Amino acid sequence: MRETGRFGGPRRNGLVTLTIILLAVVLVLGGCGAAREEEPPAPAAQPVILEYWTPFSGGDNIFMTELVEQFNREHQEIRLDQINSRLDDYYSRLRTAILSGNAPDLAIIHATNLPQFVQNGYIEPLDGLAADTGLDWGQFNAKIAGSTVYEDAHYAVPLDTHTLVLYYNKKYLREAGLLDAEDKPLIGQGEQGFTAFLHKLKEVVPPGVAPLALPSTRIDSVWLWWSLYNQMPGGGVFYNPEGTQAVFNNRASLQALKFVDSLYQQELIPPDINDAFKLFYDGQAAVLITGVWGTGAFEKDEQLELGVVPVPVIYDHPAVWGDSHTLAIPAKSEMSAEKRKAAMVFARWAVEHGVMWAEAGHVPSSLKVTGSEAYSALKFRSDYANTANSVVYWPRNMKQWSINEEIIRQFEKMIYKEQSPEQTLQRAVDSINLQLKK
């Protein structure tokens, strides 16, 4: 009987120690549990966010959205937020934003509209930035690249050329016997040839279907007139050499306008069309003359037997109205070097991925893209890729956009039979000359 009645001794000590150790282990384990809070993930580098404004209201917006989304996926360090508005309101919105210091970081500007943004430094020259990001100006179609140069500086990166083209519904043309072996429309020479083509269509198509669809308001008829006027020998003169007076009330211009008017008056273009695009899309028109931006949307419509050719040469030589979407950086105080660079990275990427943009229907600006196999493989686009060479832009004038609006107003009155083509040209020129004097 060793050490029976007494506390202490080695065994006693061992037990106490064991108990203390056990308690300690338990407490520490408990403590670990509480301390094992989820570590916050290391903050990912904040991407540069660019506000990007676009004016796409044809079928092409969805393609731009896809382009932006793919760019954002491939570039973790940059995020483009695209904001699209109707073309009708776009420039009013953009001008207000620039004047009030709320300009977007990147904006689409039509080449025609560049003069009014280059003035007063509303947009930034891009040569330095382009050199930094490796954008090669030499890759562009010379005509398109030229449209962005002011006093030897590039002010915008051209994305595309978009011209008028002639869309046709093969179903109706076949019924009228107006398709050749390659499913191209058989259109005769000159004014008579084109009119006869439409008359023949008018006889065949069901009532309510337009032989040719062109809206009775808006700019479409002005585009057609400008294209035809430029097809004439010595045609296409808009201003006097000094740029102080509009001089397009001449014989050639009048002939083109009379021809356009005759299509309306003979109801080869039915009256009161407001949305020609939708009419053709819904199979309610045999032929549609509009911009290339419809291709992507039309070809998705399985009901529509789509064909597309350049606008026919009715007079002397090929010429067609066109414009370019260009990417420009509006000047503003809080524009950081980082944002400028990111904007340029997108511009370069968008140009190089011109095939994606070509899917909307546009002719890409880069010769590398138009020469690529991927582009040639696209249906329809190669049928009109050459129109980029015969494109006629509007003349460079700071007020060209509002001058065009005056022409639209006068043309609308003509189409609604309120005045003759002669009066139309005279009144347009008079009113424009008043504007130019201001």
Partner 1 sequence: MKSFRGWFRNLALARKLILINVVFIVLPLGLTGYFAFARFTETTERKVGDYQLQTLKQLTLNIDTYMNELNRLTVMPYQYPKVTEYLATKRAPGEPLTLDEISGLNSFVTQVFLNGRVDILGVSLYGTGGASYVVMPESQYVTTYKLDEKVSWLNKFKGHYGQPVYVATHDLSASGGNVYQAFSIVRELRSFDDGVTLGYIVIDVDPKFIREILSNVKLDAKELLYITDDSGNLVTGKEHGLPLEASAVTPGQAGEGVSHVKSEGEGLLVAHVTSEVTGWTTVGVVPVSSLMQDTEVLRTYIILIGILCVGLALLLYVFIAYRITQPLRKLSRLMRGVERGDLSKAFPVSGTDEVGLLGHSFNGMIAKLSELGYLLYETEIREKDA
CB of 428 to partner 1, least distance (A): 16
Q: Which of 274, 386, 402, 433 binds partner 1 (CB under 8 A)?
A: 274
Does residue 185 belong to the site contacting partner 1 (CB under 8 A)? no
**CB nearer to partner 1: pick between 12 and 317:** 12
Region binding partner 1 by CB under 8 A among candidate stretches 3-11, 120-128, 158-166, 329-337: 3-11
CB contact set of 256 (below 8 Å; sequence gap of 6+): 225, 228, 229, 231, 232, 235, 315
Does residue 5 belong to the site contacting partner 1 (CB under 8 A)? yes
CB contact set of 300 (below 8 Å; sequence gap of 6+): none
**CB nearer to partner 1: pick between 7 and 373:** 7
**CB nearer to partner 1: pick between 293 and 321:** 293
How many residues interact with partner 1 (rule CB under 8 A)?
46
Assess contact for 178 and 197: CB atoms under 8 A: yes
**CA angle centred on 80, ends 77 and 83, rounded to 5°:** 165
**Angstrom distance (rounded) from CA 191 to CA 259:** 7
Q: Is 272 helix (H, G, I), strand (E, B) or coil?
A: coil
Q: Which of 13, 17, 19, 433 binds partner 1 (CB under 8 A)?
A: 19
Does residue 79 belong to the site contacting partner 1 (CB under 8 A)? no
Does residue 26 belong to the site contacting partner 1 (CB under 8 A)? yes
Region binding partner 1 by CB under 8 A among candidate stretches 28-36, 230-238, 378-386, 391-399: 28-36
Does residue 271 belong to the site contacting partner 1 (CB under 8 A)? yes
Does residue 142 belong to the site contacting partner 1 (CB under 8 A)? no
Does residue 412 belong to the site contacting partner 1 (CB under 8 A)? yes
Does residue 301 belong to the site contacting partner 1 (CB under 8 A)? yes
**Angstrom distance (rounded) from CA 126 to CA 283:** 44
CB of 398 to partner 1, least distance (A): 22
**CB nearer to partner 1: pick between 18 and 247:** 18
**Angstrom distance (rounded) from CA 302 to CA 305:** 8
Q: Which of 9, 21, 23, 402 binds partner 1 (CB under 8 A)?
A: 23
CB atoms within 10 A of CB 367: 17
**Angstrom distance (rounded) from CA 17 to CA 71:** 66
3-state secondary structure string across 349-380: HHHHCHHHHHCCCCEECEHHHHCCHHHHCCCC
**CB nearer to partner 1: pick between 195 and 431:** 431
Does residue 35 belong to the site contacting partner 1 (CB under 8 A)? no
Does residue 281 belong to the site contacting partner 1 (CB under 8 A)? yes
Residues 391-410 that bind partner 1 (CB under 8 A): none
- Can you say whether residue 256 is alpha, beta or left, with left for phi > 0 and alpha for psi between -120 and 50 degrees? alpha
Q: Which of 47, 75, 85, 171 binds partner 1 (CB under 8 A)?
A: 85
Q: Which of 244, 416, 422, 423 binds partner 1 (CB under 8 A)?
A: 416
Q: What proportions of the chain, in percent to the nearest 5, are helix, strand and coil?
A: 50, 15, 35
Which residues are 285's β-sheet partners?
Answer: 210
Q: Cβ-count burial of 218 within 10 angstroms (0-12 exposed, 13-18 middle, 19+ buried)?
A: middle
Does residue 9 belong to the site contacting partner 1 (CB under 8 A)? no
In degrees and rounded to multiples of 5, residue 145 shows phi and psi of -60, -40
Does residue 217 belong to the site contacting partner 1 (CB under 8 A)? yes
Q: Which of 66, 72, 79, 84 binds partner 1 (CB under 8 A)?
A: 84
* 320-323/391-392 β-pairing: parallel
**Angstrom distance (rounded) from CA 119 to CA 142:** 23
Q: Which two tokens stand for residue 33?
A: 């549990």
Does residue 434 belong to the site contacting partner 1 (CB under 8 A)? no
Interface contacts to partner 1, rule CB under 8 A:
1, 3-6, 15, 19, 22-23, 26-27, 29-30, 33-34, 56-59, 61-62, 83-86, 88-89, 92-93, 215, 217-218, 271-272, 274-275, 277-278, 281, 297, 300-301, 412-413, 416, 418
